[in-house]
Chains A and B, each alone.
Chain A
C-alpha cells in the first residue's frame, strides 16, 4: 500500500537552530499538508500546499515556518529559528483531492528542541 514517508523519525536540535523536516508524499497525490501534535494533545493543522504554493495556513504557521517542494517528490517543512515550544510530532500528509478524500499521514518526525 502506498505510504507517506517522513525523515528523520526523530530530530533533536538546539534552540535557535534551523531544522528541515522531509516528506515524500504518495506519488499521484496533489495536495500536501503539515500538521503537528504536541505531546498528549490533538493534531493541529499547520499548512496546505497545492500547485506549488501555499493554499492555506494556520495562525501557528508564522514567519519562522516555510514549506517547499524542491524537486517534484520531496515536500519539506523548515523552521528557521526553533523555539522550545516547537517541540512536537510533525506529520506530513497528502491526498488526491480535497474534502471528499481522507488524507494519508506519514509516521511523523518527533522534533525535540533543547
Chain B
C-alpha cells in the first residue's frame, strides 16, 4: 500500500535550535502537505507543495517537494516552545484523487 515514512520518529532539541525532518515514499505523490498536530487537536496545515522541486516557506518553516516526487523535507528554524507537537507529512497519490495519505509522524519535544 501507499506508505509515507517519516524520520526521525522523535526529536529532542533545545529552544533556538533548527529542526529538520523528512518524509519518503516508495511511490510517487503529486502533492505533499505538512501538518502539525497538538495534543487533543486535529492536524493543522502548515505548508502545501504542488510541484516537484518546489521550495516553499511559511515564516520559520521551509519545505521542499523532492525532484523524484517520492520525498519531502520540513525545516524549522530557531525553534520556540510552541513548535512542540507531532508533525505529519501527507500526500495525494494522484491528481483528482481525494484520499490523503499521512506519514507516521515526527514528535518534536523542546528541552528547556
Contact = CB atoms under 8 A, between A and B. Distances in A.
Interface of A: 4, 31, 33, 35, 42-45, 48, 50, 55-56, 58, 91, 93, 98-108, 110
Given A43-B88, A45-B101, A56-B98, A102 B33 contact: yes
Contact of A98 (B40, B44, B45, B98): B98
B43 A105 contact: yes
B43 A91 contact: yes
A107 B95 contact: no
Nearest to B102: A43
Contacts of B48: 101-102
A107 B41 CA distance: 5
Contacts of A45: 99-101
Contacts, number: 63
A17 to B, nearest CB: 24
Contacts of A102: 33, 45, 48
Contacts of A43: 43, 88, 90, 102
B42 A42 contact: no
Nearest to A106: B42
Contact of A99 (B30, B40, B43, B104): B30
- Contact residue range for chain B? 20 to 34
B92 A99 contact: yes
B99 A108 contact: no
B97 to A, nearest CB: 7
B91 to A, nearest CB: 10
A105 B44 contact: yes
B96 A99 contact: yes
A108 B42 contact: yes
Given A99-B31, A100-B31, A58 B41 contact: no
B104 A98 contact: no
B66 interface: no
